[in-house]
Chain A
Amino acid sequence: MDPSLVNDSSFSPANPSSYTLSEIWPFPVNDAVRSGLRLAVNSTPSDKDVSTAAAAAAAAEESTVTDLTAGWGGRKARALNSEEDESSKMVSLSSSGNEVVRFVRFCDDLNVVVSVDLKDSGEKKRKLCGSESGNGDGSMKPEGETSSGGGSKATEQKNKPEPPKDYIHVRARRGQATDRHSLAERARREKISEKMTALQDIIPGCNKIIGKALVLDEIINYIQSLQRQVEFLSMKLEVVNSGPSTGPTIGVFPTGDLGTLPIDLHRNIYEQQEANESRGSHPEWLHMQVDGSFNRTT
């Protein structure tokens, strides 16, 4: 520990990997920044928070340092990263996020460079936490702060509500590809499966079937049976139509006047509800007619 530069470093000495300002930030520090650091650190009483604040500050400093001095990476950066990992696993990121946020706000009018790097450090932290990398949209706004930028990735942080953007937000789950094509594919697939569940509600007996292929088979069978029924019924109607004498004759209907229909037919049309699957049997006379007609054609 080098006490010459900073006398009042409030990093707890119990933490072996804590750093004084001098070690991390070999550049001259103006008092404002130092007081800002102290402010951020002082506002959190507990040890853990101090360490995370230290990690946050350290991360900030580390990122700026790595930006500026390429060769400094080395041991300290790796140690910092490991500490970051550990602290992020221990403590919810939101608290450290808040610390970073407060730091940003405080340093904004003082040192613009620091705020920019803090965003990068936030980005790095998110990457280290194992969330999906590749913020491909690149829509990282300064007011987005530590909330997930771009809006199309799911992290484990609790974020502020994002401003509504003009494209669809799809929550990508962990371990799934996040490029544009697969997102579109997934959205399309979800649309199709939603329509299929709607279809399932219409068709009786399709609720118990699970699996797209079987449901589709069921749907196709249903449509085919419906079309076959229409054919049978049209044959029946043809018999009715071509008979010389039918009960109530189908006369000429004036447009829009269903009242000329006989009463019982009217009632039938509006009240009769037949189950679809039970229309398998046809009366005997129809069978005879059908056989006759088939004989004639063959």
Chain B
Amino acid sequence: MASADKPINTDVPEKDVFTLHFLQSLSNLRRQNTFNSPEKTNDRVKKIKKAAYVSMARAAGGTNRLWSRALLRRAAKENSKVVRFPRRKKRVTCLRRRRSNRRDPVEEEEAERLRNLVPGGGGMETSKLMEETAHYIKCLSMQVKVMQCLVDGLAPK
């Protein structure tokens, strides 16, 4: 408990990077879909959604953010790909050992709900969780805006 108040660190996610990644993945999917069209719509929807989240995670700072890291790991597991992460300074085990300090049952219910929503929220302390939530919200809103513009722009006139 030796640090002063650091300014809350939230870097703004970049629109360009996200758009680029997303469009690339969309074009990939489109090329795939022309070959196997009897696929059900839901699977395609899910693929698009996953592509959106993955490109957002990559655009929002890659593996520097906890939630994006968890997202990428989850996606990679589904694809059974191996993702290499750069070594972090703090190990996750330290965080888990400090779980016993997180008392205060009134807050923990709310924190529980947040943890379910935000990816990767299981292994975080409540204060860290708040930071990640803030960044996650910013990225989500950016993603929604970009997707909306894409849909409007690409819709058949």
Residues of A within 8 A of B (CB): 166-168, 184-185, 187-189, 191-192, 194-196, 198-199, 202-203, 212-213, 216-217, 219-220, 222-224, 226-227, 229-231, 233-238, 240-243, 245-248, 250-253, 255-256, 258, 262, 264-265, 268-270, 272-274, 276, 279, 293, 296-297
Of the residues A230, A245, A262, A296, contact of B144 by C-beta under 8 Å: A230
Residues B153 and A268 in contact, CB atoms below 8 Å apart: yes
Residues B48 and A276 in contact, CB atoms below 8 Å apart: no
A8 to chain B, nearest CB (A): 55
Which residues of chain A have C-beta atoms less than 8 A from B103's C-beta? 185
**A–B complex contacts, Cβ < 8 Å, 10 sampled:** A168-B1, A202-B138, A230-B53, A231-B45, A233-B147, A237-B48, A237-B151, A255-B24, A269-B15, A279-B148
* A297–B19 alpha-carbon span in the complex (Å): 31
CB-CB nearest 4 A-B residue pairs = A195-B130, A265-B153, A233-B147, A216-B110
* A73–B27 alpha-carbon span in the complex (Å): 92
Count, chain B residues at interface, CB 8 A: 64
Residues of B within 8 A of A (CB): 1-5, 8, 15-16, 19-20, 23-24, 26-27, 29-31, 33, 37, 40-42, 44-45, 48-49, 52-53, 101, 103-104, 106-107, 110, 113-114, 117-118, 126-127, 130-131, 133-134, 136-138, 140-141, 143-157
* A195–B133 alpha-carbon span in the complex (Å): 10
Residues A248 and B153 in contact, CB atoms below 8 Å apart: yes
A257 to chain B, nearest CB (A): 9
Which residues of chain B have C-beta atoms less than 8 A from A237's C-beta? 26, 48, 147, 150-151, 154
* A274–B16 alpha-carbon span in the complex (Å): 17
Which residues of chain A have C-beta atoms less than 8 A from B155's C-beta? 236, 240, 246-247
A233 to chain B, nearest CB (A): 4
* A245–B2 alpha-carbon span in the complex (Å): 61
B21 to chain A, nearest CB (A): 10
Query: Do A227 and B48 form a contact, CB below 8 Å, given A220-B117, A241-B26, A248-B153?
Result: no
B155 to chain A, nearest CB (A): 6
Nearest residue, chain B, Cβ from A195: B130
B133 to chain A, nearest CB (A): 6
* A198–B131 alpha-carbon span in the complex (Å): 9
Nearest residue, chain B, Cβ from A203: B137
* A226–B142 alpha-carbon span in the complex (Å): 10
Q: Binding site of B, secondary structure by majority: helix, strand, loop or mixed?
A: helix
Residues A234 and B45 in contact, CB atoms below 8 Å apart: yes
Residues A247 and B27 in contact, CB atoms below 8 Å apart: no
Which residues of chain A have C-beta atoms less than 8 A from B33's C-beta? 241-242
Residues B45 and A220 in contact, CB atoms below 8 Å apart: no
* A256–B17 alpha-carbon span in the complex (Å): 9
Which residues of chain A have C-beta atoms less than 8 A from B150's C-beta? 237, 265, 269
Which residues of chain B have C-beta atoms less than 8 A from A265's C-beta? 149-150, 153-154
Query: Do A241 and B29 form a contact, CB below 8 Å, given A195-B127, A220-B113?
Result: yes
Of the residues A238, A246, A273, contact of B156 by C-beta under 8 Å: A246
* A226–B145 alpha-carbon span in the complex (Å): 10
Nearest residue, chain B, Cβ from A213: B110
Residues A276 and B141 in contact, CB atoms below 8 Å apart: yes
Nearest residue, chain A, Cβ from B1: A168
Residues A242 and B44 in contact, CB atoms below 8 Å apart: yes
* A229–B52 alpha-carbon span in the complex (Å): 12
Which one of B37, B110, B114, B157 has the highest number of Cβ atoms from chain A below 10 Å of its Cβ? Answer: B110
Residues B48 and A219 in contact, CB atoms below 8 Å apart: no
Residues B156 and A243 in contact, CB atoms below 8 Å apart: yes
Residues B2 and A166 in contact, CB atoms below 8 Å apart: yes
Residues B42 and A167 in contact, CB atoms below 8 Å apart: no
Nearest residue, chain A, Cβ from B157: A247
Which residues of chain A have C-beta atoms less than 8 A from B29's C-beta? 241
